Amino acid sequence: MSYIEVGKENSTSIHLYYEDHGSGRPVVLIHGYPLSSASWEKQVPALLQAGHRVIAYDRRGFGKSSQPTTGYNYDTFAEDLHELVTHLKLRDFTLVGFSMGGGEVARYIGKYGSKGVSKAVIIGGVPPFLLKTADNPEGVDGSVFEGIQKAVAADRYAFFTEFFKNFYNTDVNLGKRVSEQAVQASWNVAAIASATASLACVPTWHEDFRNDVAKIDVPTLIIHGDADRIVPFSAAGQRTAKLINGAELVVIKDGPHNVAWTHADEVNNALVNFLAKPAAKGQASTPKTKAVA
């Protein structure tokens, strides 16, 4: 198992767990809340088969990474990612972020620029800005996030059970696109995450990424399910695609939040095809939208 040290909390080192497989152009996979890098298991084989080097890591507080009580903000998450990229000496790499991971993609480019980054992919991501404010009327009311924080603080295990129902839209997809065992496996991963991280990450979901998104100047793919109950398509993916010149938008029909699992074939096809296209800075000014049934 491979780890990189990204900081310290008192006498304890903070380590990120990562896996590094294959060869070819690097693809860095950034998972969503409250999962780990293991959640990419349906994408890794497809990417390896397509000839890519695949790096997947666990965000601090989750999976096999350290569980500090500090650093649960997007500036630190981006710094952690930058430490990994620097450690591995990556060049010409693609950043792929799901849900919260979409925030890392945006903040990384917003903070460090796109040097070395060839492409960006955001799947069901939280950018550009989920919180409803006077200048962001399309956002989600703040009381929703406050309610989630209270639920996590009261009993995070019970919260996760309800959360995953909407994560996979189990009322529609259970036994068809996702099994009870897969949902249970997600719950198991969430249960071993840091209690501190589980709570502290919730307010980061409504970080304002509008300035970060404006700095994305590499070919970008946005994938989002139109039945996403966690991160609404109209408040997130649809808007992000409009803010990035030439972004390619793939809408997964009836797709829940975690389309990377329930609609893995559609996501993998879009991802592999996008990565196969020549990468060049400066995109066409007209967004391209595709609906995938």
Q: Which residues have a catalytic role annotated?
A: 99, 228, 257
Q: What is the dihedral of CA 183, 184, 188, 194, to 10 degrees?
A: 40
Tell how strand 93-98 and strand 53-57 pair up.
unpaired
The answer to whether 147 and 123 are in contact (CB under 8 A) is no
Query: Residue 268: how many CA atoms within 13 Å on its side-chain side?
Result: 17
